[in-house]
Amino acid sequence: IEVVNEEEGIRQINPYFSEFVDEFNGFYRFSGYGHESVSTFIKDVSNIVSGKTTTKKLTNLRPSFRSAIVSAAVIDAANQSLQKGFDWVDINIGSKVKGSVSHHISV
């Protein structure tokens, strides 16, 4: 992904998201975690639709919004703490995810 503006010109904000890799045989291949994650998602959806797998089988194999909630809550609390002059901020993760066990973390 490249960002282009008049002040800084062309710059790559995340070069490993997607890139062309020279195979040194006259060919290039497309690589990067962004491309691979999108490809995996499309294959998973196709396999679910065709009945080859289920969302339940993929639950512990793939990242999900549910698994990201802890990281997102910690980042949010750290930001709140900085805005409040480094005061402690409690996080109640259980209130953010239906059916989740409640965890309190101070940041």
Give pLDDT tens digits for 68-95.
888 888 899 899 989 988 888 888 776 5
pLDDT at 28 over 50: yes
Q: Give the residue among 41, 36, 31 at the shortest CA–CA distance from 61.
A: 41
pLDDT at 106 over 80: no
pTM of this prediction exceeds 0.75: no
d(CA 61, CA 59): 6
- Three-state DSSP class for residue 1: coil
Q: What's the confidence (pLDDT) of residue 98?
A: 54
Give the pair of three-digit tokens for residue 19: 């890139």
61 Rama sector, left if φ>0, alpha if ψ -120 to 50, beta otherwise = alpha
Summary mean pLDDT of the chain = 81
Q: What's the confidence (pLDDT) of residue 83?
A: 92
pLDDT at 58 over 90: yes
